């Protein structure tokens, strides 16, 4: 049965989608079957993997029009990687879910049908703490929180941590924090090193040892519709995410 992991942080631009795509791709290369659920109306995970949105998508699965298995699309380049695409329709999902009695549990319920087919299911959350993100956290076994090594990086972390705590207390008692991932690291910057020290001091072993460095090839890979491993396997971004995948698998051994 797949372990379900949500990638969440209400702060935008911290590397949620980049991490979802590239950790999933790295695990796929290491012979793990991974499904990505794009739960962000911006659909960056969908386009970043070279897929286009269609009528069978996350929104349709959430409101019950489509089964998850019907919406899944397989990567042609990475046969172990699958995606349920997003669409702009997800913008209206907050209102739709709010009107449903089981509105907070729709993501969990939609994945029951396919959970036995994968090793891991990754949910790429939108940069908010609305009902969509709550659905993803309720459905998850654990949460990965990307933290960029920049000014005000720790600002707002309290909100996502409080959301996780409340969800664990009331809706998903088995929920855990998988880890804090430091992203956009530049070793030349004093501030970046200070953020790394601060995160490691605050969260100890919950901070991944692997740090994702700033890398041009990593940043441009989504515009080609590819994970960085397929764009330039030798660049530091590809190496970082492969190392993260190995560390992740050690945690989950």
pLDDT digits (tens, 9 = 90+) for 19-64: 999 999 999 999 999 999 999 999 999 999 999 888 899 999 999 9
Based on the structure, what is the number of domains in the chain? Answer: 1
Record the tokens describing residue 129, joined without a space: 């703490």
Q: Which parts of the chain sit beneath pLDDT 50?
A: none
How confident is the model at residue 53, as a pLDDT? Answer: 87
CB atoms under 10 Å from CB of 66, counted, come to: 18
Nearest residue to 148 (alpha-carbon basis) of 78, 205, 219: 219
The pair of structure tokens assigned to 252 is 């989950």
State residue 160's pLDDT score: 92
CA distances 103 to 9, 96, 162, 206, Å, are 21, 8, 20, 30
Instruction: Decide: helix, strand or coil at residue 109.
Output: helix
Q: Residue 166: helix, strand or coil by DSSP? A: helix
The answer to whether the Cα torsion of 44, 46, 52, 58 is positive or negative is negative
Which pLDDT score is estimated for 219? 95
- What pLDDT score does 24 carry? 98
pLDDT at 71: 97
DSSP state of 185: B
Cα dihedral across residues 45, 40, 122, 206: positive or negative = positive
What is the domain range of residue 226?
A: 3-251
CATH code of residue 144: 3.40.50.300
């Amino acid at each position: 049965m797949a372990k379900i992991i949500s990638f969440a942080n209400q702060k935008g631009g911290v590397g949620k989608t980049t991490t979802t795509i590239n950790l999933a791709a790295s695990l796929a290369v290491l012979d793990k079957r991974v499904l990505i659920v794009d739960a962000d109306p911006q659909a960056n995970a969908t386009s970043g993997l070279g897929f286009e949105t269609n009528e069978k998508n996350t929104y349709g699965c959430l409101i019950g029009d489509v089964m998850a298995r019907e919406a899944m699309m397989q990567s042609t380049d990475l046969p172990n990687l699958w995606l349920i695409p997003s669409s702009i329709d997800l913008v209206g999902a907050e209102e739709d879910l709010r009107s449903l009695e089981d509105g907070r549990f729709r993501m969990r319920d939609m994945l029951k049908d396919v959970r036995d087919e994968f090793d891991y299911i990754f949910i790429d959350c939108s940069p908010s703490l609305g009902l969509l993100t709550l659905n993803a956290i309720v459905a998850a076994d654990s949460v990965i929180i990307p933290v960029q090594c920049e000014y005000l990086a720790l600002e707002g972390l309290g909100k996502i941590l409080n959301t996780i705590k409340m969800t664990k207390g009331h809706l998903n008692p088995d929920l855990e924090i998988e880890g804090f991932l430091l992203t956009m690291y530049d070793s030349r910057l004093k501030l970046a090193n200070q953020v790394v020290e601060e995160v490691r001091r605050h969260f100890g072993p919950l901070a991944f040892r692997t740090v994702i460095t700033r890398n041009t090839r990593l940043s441009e890979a989504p515009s080609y519709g590819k994970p960085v491993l397929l764009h330039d396997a030798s660049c530091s971004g590809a190496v970082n995410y492969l190392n993260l995948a190995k560390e992740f698998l050690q945690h989950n051994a």
